[in-house]
Amino acid sequence: MRRVLTALAALAFVAGSFPAAAQAQSGRQQQSQQQGAQGGQAQQRRAPRFAPLRRQTNAGPCPYVKILYDAARFVELANNQPSAAAVGFTGEIEGVNSDCRYRENDPITVDINVLFNLGRGPQAAGDQRTYRYWIAVTERNSAILAKEYFDLPVNFQGSQVTQVQQEQQVVIPRASITTSGGNFEILIGFDVTPEMAEFNRSGSRFRIDAGAANAERPAAQ
């Protein structure tokens, strides 16, 4: 399914790296869903498989694109009880693939593919859930310049696990021909509650199909 996405908010002027009217835009997104394992079968971990991105010779390096650890997973817990029986809807950003292009005075155009693994636990209400995630542009290791939220509607259709790929495009203006993509960073994460962020930060995590398999994954190291 394809739909037009709204533009990212105007980027702020930071350390002379941006024009006053700087703007980041997000382009088309495409999502595809694939049903995963059901019942007591654990989902097999495998390397994310992405659609190929065009590779071009640029004037400099691409922005660094990464998943924010505190927002990499989405786990609903009834009454904040950390047990498989209390799990509602779950989600994990499985991986991200990106490429960029810019030459001379062109802005930096970044194509991003994001792969989500999404699950439905025993406390999930219904077969449909609209997840929410965000993409933020920052000055490298510094302040957020722009951030936009996106809805990700999912219909599990009776299955416990589904996989969705989202395609996004971000355009970052350059103040001059010497402004490099290495000055910027792009972060991706779920829209999580403070409790979810703390759960992620602690290293605790569940299988995507937690409750169906009734098995908890050991804490991350």
The confidence score (pLDDT) of residue 52 equals 54
Domain-located, residue 24: no
pTM over 0.75: no
Question: b/e per residue, 137-157, with b = 16+ CB within 10 A?
Answer: bbbeeeeebbebebebebebe
In the sheet with 161-172, reading across from the earlier edge strand, the strands are 32-35, 161-172, 108-120, 87-101, 73-77
Domain-located, residue 77: yes
The confidence score (pLDDT) of residue 85 equals 87
CB 164 within 8 A of CB 118: yes
The confidence score (pLDDT) of residue 182 equals 92
Domain-located, residue 7: yes
- Ranges of the chain whose pLDDT falls below 70: 1-57, 211-221
Which two tokens mark 37? Answer: 């394992």
Helices (H), 59-212: 194-201
Rounded to whole angstroms, the Cα distance separating 110 from 99 reads 6
Rounded to whole angstroms, the Cα distance separating 45 from 130 reads 24
The confidence score (pLDDT) of residue 54 equals 55
Domain-located, residue 47: no
The confidence score (pLDDT) of residue 213 equals 47
In which domain, by residue range, is 97 found?
Answer: 1-13+60-104+118-162+179-213
For the chain, the farthest-separated pair of C-alpha atoms sits apart, in whole angstroms, at: 56
Question: b/e per residue, 176-187, with b = 16+ CB within 10 A?
Answer: eeebbbebbbbb
CB 112 within 8 A of CB 170: yes
Domain-located, residue 44: no
Domains in the chain, number: 1
Domain-located, residue 208: yes
Domain-located, residue 122: yes
How much is the CA Rg of the chain, to the nearest whole Å? 19
The sign one gets for the Cα dihedral 88, 188, 195, 11 is negative
CB 32 within 8 A of CB 150: no
Q: Which residue has the tokens 């809807």?
A: 89
Rounded to whole angstroms, the Cα distance separating 57 from 55 reads 7
Rounded to whole angstroms, the Cα distance separating 121 from 211 reads 5
Domain-located, residue 174: no
